[in-house]
Structure 1
């Protein structure tokens, strides 16, 4: 049985998978990027929890990361479409079906990455903060 943390990350990945871009989880960036772009979800760090007693609960602000990558002549417009799609997908269900208290993405910081013999990539890491509570840090 998966842990609560894994269930939350799987729900986030499922939410990203509905977008037209190819969505991967924990993979290496492939050599080719599809015309709709590519998203790679990185599990990130749960960080140090705040703890409350009676009942004992561990409150996390888990920072996952989405690597968003586009390529092509119209990469600025494609990147804008991709990032706004991510925002809309997260805003549609800020609790991931009740698994989290709140899910919020931070603004991307895009960079152009030159590729030898091909058009540049436009990429950014988009931090996503997952607020959730667990009864046990290993559950």
Structure 2
């Protein structure tokens, strides 16, 4: 049985996979960026939970990371479209089907990355804060 953390990260990956960009989880950046862009979900850091007693419950503000990458001549527009689609996908269901108390993305800080012999990349790491509770610190 998967832990609540793994269930939530799987649901977040499924939400990203529904977007036009290619969505991976925990993979290295491939040699080629697909035309629709690339999203790589990193598990991130669950952080130090707040704990309530009776019943024992751990309340997390888990910071997962989504690496968003586009390439091509019109990468500014493509990047804007990709990041906006992430926001729209998360806003459509802020609880990921009831798995979280709240899901919210933070603004990206894009950078242009030069690539020798081809078009530059535009990329950013987008933190996605997952608010959820678990009955076990390992969950």
TM-score, structure 1 normalization? 0.99
Q: Which residue is 1:54 aligned to?
A: 54
- Is 1:31 equivalent to 2:31 in the alignment? yes
Off by >6 Å, runs of 4+ in structure 1? none
Secondary structure, aligned partner of 2:31? coil
| 1:115 aligned residue | 115
SS of the residue aligned with 2:78? helix
Aligned counterparts, 1:1-139, within 5 A: 1-139=1-139
Q: Secondary structure at the match of 1:70?
A: strand
How much has 1:35 moved relative to structure 2?
1.0
TM-superposed CA distance for 1:55, in Å, is 1.3
Q: CA deviation at 1:99?
A: 0.4
Instruction: State the shift of 1:138 in Å.
Output: 1.7
Count of paired positions: 139
1:137, CA displacement in angstroms?
1.1
SS of 1:119's partner is coil
Q: Aligned partners of 2:2 and 2:82: how far apart in 1?
A: 30
TM-score (norm 2): 0.99
Looking at structure 2, the residues matched to 138 and 65 of structure 1 have their Cα atoms a distance apart, in angstroms, of 20
Structure 2: which 5+ runs fail to align?
A: none
3-state DSSP of counterpart to 1:129: strand
Deviations 1:12-35 (Å, cap 9, x if unpaired)? 000000000000000000000011
**Residues of 1 paired with 2:65 and 2:130: CA distance?**
10
* Unpaired segments ≥5 residues, structure 1: none
User: Matches of 1:9 and 1:129 in 2, distance apart?
Assistant: 11
